[in-house]
Structure 1
Amino acid sequence: MTGNKTVDKHTNSAQERSTSPQQFQHEATAAAALTHEHPSGVCEILLNRPKKLNAFNTEMCEIMIEKLLAWEKLESSKVIFVKGNGNKAFRAGGDIKALLDLEEAGRHHEAAHIFYRHCQLQHLIGSLKKPYIALMGGITMGAAVRLAMNAPFRIATENSVYSMPENIIGHFNDATQRLQGPDIFYSGIATHYVPAKRINALEATLDDLAVQKENTLDKDDINAVIEKFSAEDIDKEEKAPAFSLGGGIYEAVNRYVTRTKPKWHPPTLEQVDASEMKRKYFDAPIDTPLVPLIDQGGTYMEYLHTRFMLPKCSEILHVANTFGGDRERTVKHLIDKYTGKHGVKAKVDSLF
């Protein structure tokens, strides 16, 4: 204790080791994304448009593609850490104005190419063999989610705000509800929940781990480091933040989705015009197939990093049913399976 303030054991001199924007190595600190390669092998990307809440643009996309491809091949790179400049946002979507300007000028192919490169970047992030960590600090909305969701490690803080607002403008059929930090974690969008005041110390510990290792960091070792700094209070009943989809809400939604008889049009699959369906929903306006920047094989039918996340609601309910609704046995089973992960107990409790 110092005076009346509690000293967090995770926030010490490590705060002084956080990389400032001036330390990043890209050719100009005004660049949309700055990069820094630490001697330890930790490679950082700083999304650098704080006045626009780090909104994604073409320059940012191209810098990220260039550096991720280089680091994937570089033997000395051991882990990649991506975060936003400033306290307000990781990234607040894409730069819509740039797209509108191209469309209004009739430059449709250039606008389509922006989406093409964005899709290539998303596939690249999901295909990297080098571990990739996304710090979803502050606003993480729309196109910002693309830089995080394919990553094995996605860290939310109490300041994180997640949403996919595209549905409002008819662009993408997804949830528009805003989720705050704990819900982002409980729902599986984030793999970890770390208090913002511990992030600098977490980065410093990752740097120390990289110094000790000669090669690419093992994902389980990275997970152990992040867990060390995760909010342990989340599993204490008196301090655990509520899960907005917990209690009877999840089951009620699930019952509605599974028991409500849909009204299909046309009413049978035999009446569906496959060629019209393809034309309307799948044919691109330009005939340019997406070419991956790297191809590591695999079908992407299953997410490979579920062990770093909290168990799904469906898994919790399945285990609970197996144990006859016994909460303590359910908690113990899942804590053992997820190797003591912070948040497992809180999520299980929220569903009972």
Structure 2
Amino acid sequence: MTCRSLPLVFKRGFAQQSTIESSVLIKKNFGARQLILNRPRRLNAIDMEMVDIIYPNLRAWEASEQAKIVFLKGTGRALCAGGDVKDVVNSLKDPAKHRDLEHQIDTEYDMLHFMGTMKTPYIAVMDGITMGAGGGFCSFAPFRIATENTQFAMPENAIGLFCDVGASFFLSRLDGHLGAYMGATSRIVKGEDALFAGLATHFVPSSRLEALEARLAELDHATHDMVHRAIEEFEVERDHTPGMYTLQGKDRKRMDECFKHEKMEDVMDALKEDGSQFSKDTMDAILKRSPTSVKITHEHIRKGSRLSLKECLQMEHRLWQTVPFSHDFIEGVTSHVVNKTQPKWNPSRLEDLDLEQDIRVRYFHANVKRRLHFTHTDDFHLLPFRRYALPSEKEILEVKKVHRTVADTVAWFEKDRNGKFGVRQKVEDVLERKSS
């Protein structure tokens, strides 16, 4: 896991890249436009200089009739491992830099909303490490392509922040309580798991990506459905044998049973009572995280499930005006990233934090000065193009009411999803779990 997985870093006057290749490459191929994150030695970690390249281009392409498709991808072994948290901490410590940091957060959250509401088809290629801000840049795209190299995670709790960049929206929309589990544990989801979890819409072998990009560039009038059908041509075949699928069966059922609780103390009690190796490993992971961060993340994922995209981003924007100034964020970054030591959280235990007073009143209902303004006015509660992904548990259970047998339900979804890989595996897993 990388600890550079948090929001973008603002660096006015940053000159390091001026004598070398740009930190974001812009490429055009017929109607296709590509944003290529180009800091491979830093795992394409985002700073404000990069945002100042990405966002104006996105806005220009959205307004252009010549730009038919937008790609986001990275060089090296990552799409994006996040942002540079050391610079964020330095900005927090220097009052003279607070305004720059405020500009950074305001711009980032407007851009995330813009990415989610673009009319131009937007494709995020998660070929490698995709964490923190990288996850946010992908999770609102209509097309989120996973490969055998994908490693997706939201590890902010490990350094005393909270799962941000829209995680309150996209983690809370995952099946059951999978999002709460991922947020609390910083679980890394690899390969096909990203497709089964709903983090990705398509699974394409990395060896086919270049040909896929060429095919998409040929589309003269690229509607979202046309883009989807083109990507399907390059997806793995229906009979593809997946790697180890870990988010299913009994462990997946344990996630829902244990993480359904409002309070993290009750989640931990449920894990302890379960007593399985999965539950023990989950408890160990949570206990290494900042208790404050774990509770804030759990609360905002639960709240986010009832909010729209705009409302989720506004909630996180408010949290960014309080959480980073608390003890644990500076302690977490200084210990993990700078000194390579174990942080000393304060408070050090989940039970030392009262959910109402210490979390809701102090962070969620704090008086803050800034309000978030959006370039686009569109809003939604569910991703508009979720039909391109595998069916959700809710969809599967609804169809099962009509098509009584598992086989008939599988057949219905395989026809509906055009023989998409993963349909059979997911439908069978959901129905088996729900019937046991």
TM-score between the two structures when normalised by the length of structure 2: 0.64
Q: Which residue of 1 aligns with 2:35?
A: 45
> Does the CA contact (< 8 Å) of 1:91 and 1:139 recur in 2?
yes
Matched, 1:150 2:140: yes
Higher helix content, 1 or 2: 2
CA shift, 1:32, in A, is: 1.8
Matched, 1:64 2:60: no
Q: Which moved more, 1:182-191 or 1:300-309?
A: 300-309
Matched, 1:228 2:233: yes
> Does the CA contact (< 8 Å) of 1:44 and 1:80 recur in 2?
yes
- 2:56 and 2:141 map into 1 onto residues whose CA distance is 18
Matched, 1:319 2:399: yes
CA shift, 1:75, in A, is: 0.9
Q: Which residue of 2 aligns with 1:253?
A: 255
CA shift, 1:339, in A, is: 3.1
CA deviations over 1:231-287 (Å, ceiling 9, x no partner): 115x45xx23343121233333323445899989xxxxxxx989x9466314464x2
Structure 1 alignment gaps of length 5 or more: 1-25, 265-271
Match of 1:309 among 384, 389, 403: 389
Q: Which residue of 2 aligns with 1:9?
A: none
Flag the 1:231–1:289 CA change in 2: closer, same or farther, 3 A.
same
Structure 2 alignment gaps of length 5 or more: 1-16, 164-182, 267-354
- Alignment map for 1:212-291 (pairs within 5 Å): 213=220, 215=221, 217-232=222-237, 235-236=239-240, 239-258=241-260, 277=360, 280-283=363-366, 285=368, 287-291=369-373
Identity of aligned residues (%): 33
CA shift, 1:342, in A, is: 2.4
CA shift, 1:43, in A, is: 0.6
- 1:344 and 1:41 map into 2 onto residues whose CA distance is 32
- 1:259 and 1:112 map into 2 onto residues whose CA distance is 34
> In angstroms, what is the RMSD of aligned CA positions?
2.7
CA shift, 1:63, in A, is: 0.7
Q: Which residue of 2 aligns with 1:188?
A: 198
- 1:284 and 1:111 map into 2 onto residues whose CA distance is 19
Flag the 1:252–1:263 CA change in 2: closer, same or farther, 3 A.
closer
> Does the CA contact (< 8 Å) of 2:192 and 2:242 recur in 1?
no
> Does the CA contact (< 8 Å) of 2:191 and 2:243 recur in 1?
no
Matched, 1:32 2:23: yes
Matched residue of 1:232: which SS? Answer: coil
Match of 1:95 among 80, 84, 101: 84
Matched residue of 1:223: which SS? Answer: helix
Flag the 1:150–1:259 CA change in 2: closer, same or farther, 3 A.
closer
Matched residue of 2:233: which SS? Answer: helix
- 2:374 and 2:197 map into 1 onto residues whose CA distance is 29
Flag the 1:258–1:70 CA change in 2: closer, same or farther, 3 A.
closer
| Equivalenced residues, count | 305
> Does the CA contact (< 8 Å) of 1:227 and 1:342 recur in 2?
no
CA deviations over 1:54-75 (Å, ceiling 9, x no partner): 0010011111111001001111
Q: Which moved more, 1:100-109 or 1:27-36?
A: 27-36
CA shift, 1:332, in A, is: 0.7
- 1:185 and 1:34 map into 2 onto residues whose CA distance is 28
- 1:162 and 1:321 map into 2 onto residues whose CA distance is 33
Q: Which residue of 2 aligns with 1:332?
A: 411
Flag the 1:151–1:284 CA change in 2: closer, same or farther, 3 A.
farther
Flag the 1:160–1:278 CA change in 2: closer, same or farther, 3 A.
same
Flag the 1:199–1:109 CA change in 2: closer, same or farther, 3 A.
same
Letter in 2 for 1:149: S
Q: Which residue of 1 aligns with 2:307?
A: none
CA shift, 1:227, in A, is: 0.9
Matched residue of 2:375: which SS? Answer: coil
Match of 1:77 among 67, 87, 100: 67
- 1:260 and 1:94 map into 2 onto residues whose CA distance is 30
CA shift, 1:171, in A, is: 1.5
Matched, 1:139 2:219: no
Flag the 1:280–1:27 CA change in 2: closer, same or farther, 3 A.
closer
Matched residue of 1:330: which SS? Answer: helix
Letter in 2 for 1:103: L
Flag the 1:71–1:260 CA change in 2: closer, same or farther, 3 A.
closer
- 2:230 and 2:115 map into 1 onto residues whose CA distance is 21
- 1:187 and 1:344 map into 2 onto residues whose CA distance is 12
TM-score between the two structures when normalised by the length of structure 1: 0.79
- 1:320 and 1:273 map into 2 onto residues whose CA distance is 40
Q: Which residue of 1 aligns with 2:215?
A: 205
